[in-house]
Chains A and B, each alone.
Chain A
Amino acid sequence: MSNAAQQFLEAAGTITRNLRHRGLIQTALRKYEVARDRKKSAFNDWSSARQSAAETKWDAINHLDTYLTEFTSKIEARGTKVHWCPTGPEARDTIRGIIRDAKAKCVVKSKAMTAEEIHLNEALEKDGFEVVESDLGEYIVQLRKEPPYHIVFPAMHLTRDEISDLFERELGSAPTREPEELTMIARRALRRKYIQADVGITGANFAIAETGMVSITENEGNARLTAALPRVMITLLGIEKVLPKMEDLALFLPLLATAGAGQTVTGYNTLYGGPRQPGESDGPVEWHVVLLDNRRTELLADPEQRDALHCIRCGACLNVCPIFRNVGGHTYGTTYSGPVGSVITPHLRGLQDWKHLSNASSLCGACTEACPVKIDLHHHLLQNRRNAVGETPSWIERLAWRAHAFAVNTPALYQFGQEVARIVEPLRQRLQGTPLDPVKTWTSTRDLPPVAPESFKEWWRNRR
């Protein structure tokens, strides 16, 4: 078992017994579902909207080379510098270089999961730069020195009291239970940073090939300030973010907002086309767009699971996933948690180390049903399981499944097994609760149904 798998099991074992966590997450995500369903009904036809989005992303991903080239040539024509980075370390080094060249001290950053993916903040802080997260949730988890809990709601696991305590400790503010006041405390701290910062780093929601523009959606206006105030702007995005046409946003912006947060459309929607142009009075003087591959092209090479690159990081699959709802975001130990994380992490970070996430699923399919771009998520988990076994089968497990096949295919043996189970049942019951119980993974929390005195097939035979 990999270290990651061991850590997952231990963390899951602890958190699933934490009833406070369970209550908090279940309540929050049930509220999300109500809001999402209300907004879904504003679509003429939600299922055809999903189909249309899936087809657009299919086109974008299957012609990624064309669209990425189109995107870069258009955006470079207005003076943006585009950096192609095949790996995480290369993207990190590129960004470190840009910041060094800008002679920056303070960096302000809006939400970007790609930055989490390449551990950008740690690298910059090691270089001596101050990096401040400007998204409220991200700012909170940064102050707590922990990774985001959820790709859209980074601090959803915290109550207002915990946030007030944190601000009191870290920022010296007075305790308060009012969300508005908590927001104002963060705003007062962050506004100073926007002014001080020499470099602003953003993520991206979509890259429009047709016009060479980056679309960023957010609810706090922090990404706009991050992009507009510092002299240098850096945008880090995965290569899968591309959409062919500007008009695609007419579908994708409400789709993302509805699926992700139960909103009609996100609060602030901005399109960036280039750095400050001659005659313009504001905006960054330099703009660097960093395109990150980081093994996405390996996923692209897999025709069976290529559609996982359709992902618009809305978080809908996390929100409906009963596994996520019970283990929470941190248990995964990955940048991308929930169903989509379980599907793509083995591709991004190695199948053998991360296959346990594909096994940690009841394959219920709620994720696939919720996905606004129709990624076949739960079936990809099945494929990951098959691929993991194909690469390195466990010979003990293989032998066990062969024995199982032999037993169920041999009626006399199968029936003999039932007889044995009946006979040993009183003994097994005595062993229940001890380490010798052969089915303790079941019986530690659940009663085992007794073997019926007469099986269906015995009844069937006797009846005739």
Chain B
Amino acid sequence: MNVTLFIPCFVDTCFPQVGMHMVRILERLGHRVTCPEAIACCGQPAFNSGYWDEARQVAGKTLHHLRDAEAVVIASGSCGAMLKVFYPQLYAGRPEEAAAQRLSEHTWEFSDFLVSKLGVTDLGARFPAKVTFHDGCHGLRELGIKSGPRKLLEKVRDLELVEMSDAETCCGFGGTFAAKFPMISTAMGEVKCASAADTGAEYMVSNDSSCLMHLQGLLSRQGKPLKTLHLAQILDSQ
């Protein structure tokens, strides 16, 4: 299959290893991976701030570059939800509506692509550690992704998966929310980190680097031993 990777701006800039692991995994499974270098952002920050015209300025370019892709795979449930759920709303009643609808149907969050589209759960990975999984809200509630990442983690050799008490509770990132209401965002993150730490896990794993950027930022600042990892990094471990 021809897989087109959409690498969100923060993954490109701060977490390139997530994209690299995705490329290796997809190529190992025999797929042809491409990555359009001209696009950098899905437009969600402006969209969530209420500036839909400005969001369309960004989304329009992304839509143009991805419109004919066989499968678009994204390392973030949040950016994935933007393409899959919100592009059709952003372009409702506009000439691009059909293209947005088509793109929506061909867009996959990474773990969902592996499990639901490819039917793969065992990637031959080994990761000897105790981990807990954080459900990013956009992946969980906009895209309905819950069991996929866990099926993938259960097949990883020597990995112990434990559930935290508030796995489905928001970590407090929320895009521009984290900067506009840092005190609320921080309190939410602290609650999340405490839940994860209570499990005794060494790693909090998620399929969304944006949640992890916020959570790791808190954990590092507070000198907590818990570490965060993107799912792709574990699935590519030997």
Contacts and interface: CB of A to CB of B under 8 A. Distances in A.
- The answer to whether A and B come from one shared complex is yes
Interface of A: 9, 12-13, 16-17, 22, 26, 30, 322-323, 325-327, 359-366, 368-369, 382, 385-390, 393, 397-398, 401-402, 404-405, 408-409, 411, 414, 418, 421, 441-442, 444-452, 454-461
Nearest to B52: A386
B233 interface: no
A446 B186 contact: yes
B54 A362 contact: no
B167 interface: no
A389 B140 CA distance: 28
| Chain B, interface SS category | helix
Nearest to B213: A449
Given A364-B137, A368-B141, A402 B54 contact: yes
A346 B217 CA distance: 34
8 contacts: A12-B184, A322-B191, A360-B180, A414-B40, A441-B182, A442-B179, A447-B220, A461-B37
Contact of A365 (B20, B141, B217, B218): B141
B11 interface: yes
Contacts of B7: 456-457
Nearest to B43: A405
Interface residues of B, number: 66
B149 interface: no
A363 B182 contact: no
Interface string B196-231: 000000000000000001101110110000000000
B58 A408 contact: yes
B191 A397 contact: no
B191 A456 contact: no
Interface in B167-190: 168-170, 172-175, 177-189
B194 to A, nearest CB: 9
Contacts of B120: none
Given A411-B38, A418-B13, 9 more contacts: A30-B165, A402-B57, A408-B9, A411-B40, A446-B186, A449-B14, A451-B14, A455-B13, A459-B16
B191 A22 contact: yes
Given A326-B187, A365-B141, A457-B35, A360 B177 contact: yes
A323 B184 contact: yes
A74 to B, nearest CB: 41
B220 A362 contact: no
A456 B19 contact: yes
A405 B46 CA distance: 9
Contacts of A388: 50
A22 to B, nearest CB: 7
A448 B57 contact: no
